[in-house]
Amino acid sequence: MNKPKIRIWLYAGIGLLTLLLNVIAWNSTAFCDNYMKYIFPVWVNTYGRLTGMFPFSVGEIMLGLAVVLAALAAVLWVPWLVMSLTAVREKKKGEAVSRMTASVQRRIKRYYLFCAWVFNIVCLVMTLNCFILYHASAFSEKYFGEQREYTLEELLTVRNLVVEECNRLSQEMERNEKGEILYDADMGKEAIACMQRLGRAYGQLDGYYPRPKPLYTSDFFCQQYMSGYYFPFSMEANYNNVMYIMNKPEAMCHELAHLRGYIFEDEANFISFLACVGSEDPVFIYSGYLSVLNYLDNDFYKAIGRDDEAYFAQTHILPQVSMDNVFVTEEDWDRINEKALIDTQVVDKVSDAFVDTTLKVNGVKDGKISYSRVVRLLLQYYEEKGLFFKE
């Protein structure tokens, strides 16, 4: 068999394998659960250890290369089309296609074949490190059992508990003259320790964790309102290094949760909450409670019909907590927007549409709304902790 045929068979084989894995994943939760438990950790323990040796984000570089490849493919389309039309005219006239035209055509064709190979591999990697995981059993199903409907009083109980913890912890933080929280310990090391500690209670979370890495293009991720990124192509946990410090502990643990196979955002939010509040580090504990405060507060406000009188009758959120509960400081926003090549609103809309589409394609029917489902997990967790009685 000659080389072109071997390449075609390999390409077709990878495509069929990718398709088959997705079909099985959509139809077999047991397959996905076993894959998540036995196979997925292999990628983290091998490839993840390799990329973890680099001090920079390998995935971020891959993402940049992908943009370059796509841009070059778009640029080459025009000369490819012109030369193809020229070759057709020359053949019609009975003339031989010039060597230069034929040579350039061959080179462009090889480039497009290379891009096709890259796309094929990307689809396979995304399937192995992302898509299959969307169809595994939920975290709550594994460790808490079936969810039930919770009452307004139960929601209020958890909401007030979190508000009280945030209020208390806000008074214990070490701050600079601007009121910003200071932290001089190794945050990445503590995030790994938090996740490993949590792994003793929840087996799927047990195992090796690579060190979280800051994103070089954190300004651009700020424009997308993204606190971190799990790169399935490099098995890395990356975090936004420009956002306010109180977001970082939770973001690190959130992205590390993805590396244990929990791909849903609400589950990663919940796992990072558990990891942070289980720490002995006050900054991590505060970050954990802050990470769920808005979800609980917003859901409570909606549940009471946006009744301001009823809302303000409950435990108040201290002004200091509100100041700490920001994504990016005003100073950094001014710097980011001043030098941004693309308007932040445009970047945010495109990012939201991409994330929402990705979630819906993978069976999450409510798209980005699924992020607030962390409230149900919190209610279920506190019920297990005995905060309120089952009906």
pLDDT digits (tens, 9 = 90+) for 234-244: 999 999 999 99
107-132 pLDDT, tens digit each: 888 888 888 889 999 999 999 999 99
Distance of alpha carbon 229 from alpha carbon 215, whole angstroms? 9
- Is the distance from CB of 305 to CB of 152 less than 8 angstroms? no
Distance (Å, whole) CA 232 – CA 59:
8
pLDDT of residue 345: 58
Q: What pLDDT is attached to residue 96?
A: 57
- Tokens 């942070």 correspond to what residue? 276
What is the β-pairing status of strands 228-231 and 236-239? antiparallel
What are the domain boundaries of the chain?
3-135, 140-384
Measured CA to CA in angstroms, residue 2 lies from 16, 90, 117, 122 at distances of 21, 30, 18, 26
pLDDT in tens, 193-243: 999 999 999 999 999 999 999 999 998 888 888 999 999 999 999 999 999
- Mean of pLDDT over the chain: 87
Could you tell me which residues come within 8 angstroms of residue 197 by beta carbon, excluding any fewer than 6 positions away?
275, 278, 279
Residue 258: the pLDDT is 96
- Measure the N-to-C terminal CA separation of the chain; round to a whole number of Å: 69
The pLDDT score that the predictor gives to residue 278 is: 96
- The pLDDT assigned to 369 comes to 38
Place of tokens 């435990």: 315
**Rounded Cα gap, residues 301 and 309, in angstroms:** 11
Helical H segments across the chain, by residue range: 3-27, 29-34, 40-43, 49-51, 58-92, 99-126, 139-143, 152-170, 187-199, 218-223, 248-258, 265-277, 282-303, 308-312, 319-324, 330-339, 344-361, 374-384
pLDDT at residue 76, as a whole number: 83
**What pLDDT is attached to residue 377?**
93
Residue 242: which of 175, 330, 341, 343 has the closest Cα? 330
The residue with tokens 């001089």 is 184
% of the chain surpassing 90 pLDDT: 60
Cβ atoms 224, 249 nearer than 8 A: no
For residues 146-171, average pLDDT: 92
pLDDT of residue 360: 52
pLDDT of residue 95: 58
Q: Which residue has the tokens 């009280």?
A: 164
Question: What are 284-321's pLDDT values in tens digits?
Answer: 999 999 999 999 999 999 888 889 999 999 999 999 99
Q: Which DSSP string do the residues of 213-268 spell out, in sequence order?
A: EE-TTHHHHHHTT-SEEEETTTTEEEE-SSS-GGGHHHHHHHHHHHTTT--SHHHH
CA–CA distance, 158 with 382 (Å, rounded to integer): 8
Residue bearing tokens 């999450």: 364
Q: What is the pLDDT of residue 223?
A: 86
pLDDT for position 60: 93
Cα separation, 14 vs 237, in Å, equals 27
- Locus of tokens 């108040």: 316
Number of residues written out for the chain: 391
Amino acid identity for residue 289 in this structure:
Y
111, amino acid identity: Y
Query: In angstroms, what CA-CA distances link 94 with 87, 89, 91, 97, 137?
Result: 11, 9, 5, 9, 65
For the record, the structure tokens of 21 come out as 């894995």
Distance (Å, whole) CA 365 – CA 368: 9
Question: Which pLDDT score, from 0 to 100, does residue 91 have?
Answer: 62
Position 367 pLDDT exceeds 50: no
Confidence of residue 273 (pLDDT cuts 50, 70, 90): very high
Q: For 71, how many CA atoms within 13 A lie in the half-sphere containing its CB? A: 6
